[in-house]
Amino acid sequence: MEFRQLGNSNLKVSTIIFGAWAIGGWMWGGAEEKDSIEAIHASIAGGATAIDTAAVYGYGRSEEIVGKAIKGKRAQVQLLTKYGLRWDSTEGEHFFDWSDENGEKNIYRNARKQSIILECENSLRRLQTDYIDLYQCHWRDSSTALEETMEAMNQLIKEGKIRAAGVSNFTAEDIERANKICAVASDQPPFSMVLREIEKDVLPYCAAHNIGVIVYSPLQRGLLTGKFKADAKFKEGDHRSNEAHFQPENIKRTNAFLAKIKPIADAHSATLAQLVIAWTIAQPGITAAIVGARDAAQISDNLGAQKVSLSKDELTTIAEHLKSLELVPVV
């Protein structure tokens, strides 16, 4: 597994990062703890030792599962988690409401210093560790000055509770402001073959200022595996049922595109998912890609992307096919 430096920090992460959103069950229609722990163990054994989670995933459950899974393995892993989305407080900026088997939760963006300090202690407890490698602001809280948020990061770094500070879903302008107060090691934005807005300004800014970019949803939440049909049905509580990319016409158009690039995957004896992950990591300015998994079998498939080394001609061919892919906007 290749490891890459995260911006100006002293932290290196595996280019494929285990994404622990789904194992929290939240928005994914549930998850089995035993399968989740086995998936994390398989990821570590396969060299993808960086694990990305967040306090809000499963309202703490994802972090708790990660904590159980890394017991006795802490020195082998890089722990990445996120703060700033509170379901247990109404301070800050209302984000959205969510109902599932846990009842109705009101989610607030809260990046106030006092809240961050409390969240860090809670995450350390759930993760069963005394430090977090990369602590990231999950979403910008416009009701709180960035100066206050990043001052909390400086304090946590000085106290040794976190090794580096990161942000997630930030604009280039907000990254610049934050970086003046506390060194920003990385940004974590969404990015995939069918969602490439960060190429306009976030990627160029981060590249110019040596800030790492860890992208999430490179498989567009499973769409780019080619396993979905236009009439796909989702379990109750699965957020994808209302997601624009999973509307029938967009599934059809995406599958037509995937059929065009499948010969490249076949040439590498790879799955479409492995090809897409390899393409993502090969994009200029991208440090690593977060890829979720619910069990060890999915980890094995994800890690197979390591064997796919794409040539310039193959990357050009994929780029040409992407130009002709037009998805239908869903209002």
Question: What structural domains does the chain harbor?
Answer: 3-222+272-310 (3.20.20.100)
Of the two residues 81 and 23, the one the predictor is more confident about is 81
Residue 216 forms beta bridges with which residues? 190
Q: Return d(Cα 322, Cα 280) in angstroms, integer.
A: 13
Asked if residue 50 lies in contact with residue 13, where contact means CB atoms within 8 angstroms, the answer is yes
Residue 167 forms beta bridges with which residues? 137, 187
In the Cβ-directed half-sphere of 147, how many Cα atoms lie within 13 Å?
1
Q: Does residue 30 register a pLDDT over 60?
A: no
Q: What pLDDT shows up at residue 237?
A: 65
Nearest CA to 56 out of 78, 89, 15 is that of: 89
- Work out the number of other CB atoms within 10 angstroms of the CB of residue 234: 15
Asked if residue 7 lies in contact with residue 186, where contact means CB atoms within 8 angstroms, the answer is yes
Q: What pLDDT shows up at residue 329?
A: 83
For 215-272, the pLDDT digits (tens) are 999 999 889 999 998 877 777 667 677 788 999 999 999 999 999 999 999 999 999 9
Report the percent of the chain where pLDDT is more than 90.
85
Q: What pLDDT shows up at residue 27?
A: 54
Asked if residue 81 lies in contact with residue 136, where contact means CB atoms within 8 angstroms, the answer is yes
For 107-141, the pLDDT digits (tens) are 999 999 999 999 999 999 999 999 999 999 999 99
Q: Return d(Cα 136, Cα 184) in angstroms, integer.
A: 9
Where residue 29 falls among pLDDT bands split at 50, 70, 90? low
- Work out the number of other CB atoms within 10 angstroms of the CB of residue 256: 12
Is 57 a known active-site residue?
A: yes
Residue 292 forms beta bridges with which residues? 19
Q: What pLDDT shows up at residue 234?
A: 73
Q: What pLDDT shows up at residue 217?
A: 94
Name the catalytic one among 57, 83, 108, 205: 57
Q: What pLDDT shows up at residue 243?
A: 84
Largest Cα span, the chain: 54
Q: What pLDDT shows up at residue 100?
A: 78
Q: What pLDDT shows up at residue 147?
A: 97
Q: What pLDDT shows up at residue 221?
A: 87
pTM: 0.94
- Residue 122 identity: N
**Where would I find the H helices in the chain?**
33-45, 61-69, 113-127, 146-158, 172-181, 202-208, 248-267, 272-282, 296-303, 312-323
Q: What pLDDT shows up at residue 110?
A: 98
Averaged pLDDT of the chain: 94
Nearest CA to 271 out of 229, 208, 226 is that of: 226
Q: What pLDDT shows up at residue 57?
A: 94
Nearest CA to 170 out of 198, 147, 145 is that of: 198
What is the total residue count of the chain?
331
Q: Return d(Cα 159, Cα 255) in angstroms, integer.
A: 49
